[in-house]
């Protein structure tokens, strides 16, 4: 058995393999509600053999959405449609996670494939279009690029209320049956904005020193960990570096990861970037070294993510100890059956048996007829 297809225990949760679908926004909700698109989008990954499927960045308050079409978990009405997704994933042997998020100053932006607010009135009515002024640690716009707005600076009382909003969303995630929650503190969104000196220009207890900039994200972690059952794992996604000379560094991330571990976080999902001016050049495995360093120096489990496409690379990552899990985002969109194909490529015993019953025998017979994959030597 390969390491990639070996089980992993996270508290009481046993993942059947180390292959993860990370959160990927679909910008397809109305009023934050999951619908048939979200069901089909996530269900295919359960069918495709992923051990863990994490639902997209889900806003804990309406104004925390990246776009008006993002998922939400700020009301009890959001629970039932998500529970439908969770139940199906469980039926396929996959664990279900959800990412709790607040976009901060990167909220209220256009749908990415439109790039600007050019919806007709009819389209606005059909999609539930709303617009609002974002909030942030400081009244500093993310970028001069079209679509970003100047945010309003959060008051101290508003900041102190935010951990409770995340905790309330975690309780709803539990009601929906999710196995784990992931707190989004990456990619230039609100918690990352508090961490980074590029966005946090405050001079009170929430800004300035590293300890002060970590104060809100750690308070969110404490609130969610207290609301989330002790037997269920908690993840945090971070940008390990801003890749900017004046920004957050890998050294800061190691300090932050140690604090996360001390507060009951089980896994750090290691990404990077998210701020204007970052000098990141995506390439195969381009974030792997960040995961490896945080895992080693903070002594905490990690998820490696970032253009992992080849089964041999994924196996090497977990077998070498560079990470405990491997996440495939765009690769999963391109090939929702990636784990099933990877199992065949890596020679996992009874790999055809990992396919759903309704499909495995047919794929095996097809490969036998064509003398490919496991039958190539015949």
CATH number at residue 47: 3.20.20.70
Domain-located, residue 377: no
Is the per-residue pLDDT at 201 higher than 80? yes
Domain-located, residue 321: yes
Is the per-residue pLDDT at 1 higher than 80? no
Provide the pLDDT confidence category of residue 300 given band limits of 50, 70 and 90.
Answer: very high
Domain-located, residue 354: no
Residue reference for tokens 């058995």: 1
Is the per-residue pLDDT at 99 higher than 90? yes
Domain-located, residue 22: yes
- The pLDDT value recorded for residue 144 is 93
Torsion from C-alpha of 24, 293, 210, 56, nearest 10 degrees: 10
Mean pLDDT within 9-31: 98
Q: Is the dihedral of CA 271, 273, 275, 276 positive or negative?
A: negative
For 260-291, write each residue's pLDDT tens digit. 999 999 999 999 999 999 999 999 999 999 99
Domain-located, residue 174: yes
Which string of DSSP letters, residue by residue, matches 211-233? HHHHHHHHHHHHHHHHHS-TTS-
Is the per-residue pLDDT at 378 higher than 80? no
Domain enclosing residue 332, as ranges: 8-347
Domain-located, residue 365: no
Mean pLDDT within 4-28: 98
Domain-located, residue 370: no
- The pLDDT value recorded for residue 374 is 78
- The pLDDT value recorded for residue 266 is 98
pTM: 0.97
Q: Specify whether 189 is catalytic.
A: yes
For 105-154, write each residue's pLDDT tens digit. 999 999 999 999 999 999 999 999 999 999 999 999 999 999 999 999 99
- The pLDDT value recorded for residue 377 is 75
Mean pLDDT within 369-376: 90
Catalytic residue among 27, 68, 189, 352: 189
Give the residue from 279, 269, 336 showing the smallest Cα distance to 304: 269
- The pLDDT value recorded for residue 272 is 97
Range with the lowest mean pLDDT among 64-73, 113-122, 177-186, 321-330? 113-122
For 30-88, write each residue's pLDDT tens digit. 999 999 999 999 999 999 999 999 999 999 999 999 999 999 999 999 999 999 999 99
Domain-located, residue 206: yes
Tell me what the pLDDT averaged over the chain comes to. 97
Mean pLDDT within 174-202: 98
- The pLDDT value recorded for residue 376 is 83
Q: How many domains does the chain have?
A: 1
């Amino acid at each position: 058995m390969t390491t990639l297809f070996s089980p992993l225990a996270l508290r009481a949760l046993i993942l059947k393999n180390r292959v993860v679908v990370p959160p990927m926004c679909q910008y397809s909700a109305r009023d934050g509600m999951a619908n048939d698109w979200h069901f089909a989008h996530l269900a295919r990954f359960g069918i495709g053999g992923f051990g863990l499927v994490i639902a997209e960045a889900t806003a804990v308050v309406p104004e925390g959405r990246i776009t008006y079409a993002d998922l939400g978990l700020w009301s009890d009405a959001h629970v039932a449609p998500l529970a439908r997704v969770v139940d199906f994933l469980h039926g396929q042997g996959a664990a279900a996670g959800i990412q709790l998020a607040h976009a901060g100053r990167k909220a209220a932006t256009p749908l990415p494939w439109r790039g600007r607010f050019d919806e007709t009135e009819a389209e606005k009515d059909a999609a539930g279009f709303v617009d609002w002024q974002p909030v942030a640690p400081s009244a500093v716009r993310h970028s001069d690029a079209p679509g970003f707005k100047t945010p309003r600076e959060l008051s101290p009382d508003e900041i102190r209320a935010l951990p409770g909003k995340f905790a309330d969303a975690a309780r709803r995630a539990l009601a929906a049956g999710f196995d784990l929650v992931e707190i989004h503190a990456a990619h230039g969104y609100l918690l990352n904005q508090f961490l980074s000196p590029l966005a946090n220009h405050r001079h009170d207890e929430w800004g300035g020193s590293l300890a002060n900039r970590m104060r809100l994200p750690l308070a969110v972690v404490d609130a969610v960990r207290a609301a989330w059952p002790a037997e269920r794992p908690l993840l945090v996604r971070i940008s390990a570096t801003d890749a900017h000379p004046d920004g957050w560094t890998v050294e800061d991330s190691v300090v932050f990861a140690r604090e996360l571990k001390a507060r009951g976080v089980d896994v750090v999902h290691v990404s990077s970037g998210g701020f204007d001016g970052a000098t990141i050049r995506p390439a195969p495995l381009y974030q792997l070294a960040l995961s490896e360093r945080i895992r080693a120096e903070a002594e905490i489990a990690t998820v490696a993510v970032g253009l992992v496409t080849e089964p041999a690379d994924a196996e090497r990552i977990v077998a070498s100890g560079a990470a405990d899990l491997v996440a495939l985002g765009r690769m999963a969109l391109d090939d929702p059956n990636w784990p099933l194909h990877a199992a065949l490529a890596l020679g996992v015993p009874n790999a055809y048996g990992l396919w759903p019953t309704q499909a495995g025998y047919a794929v095996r017979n097809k490969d036998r007829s064509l003398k490919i994959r496991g039958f190539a030597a015949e």
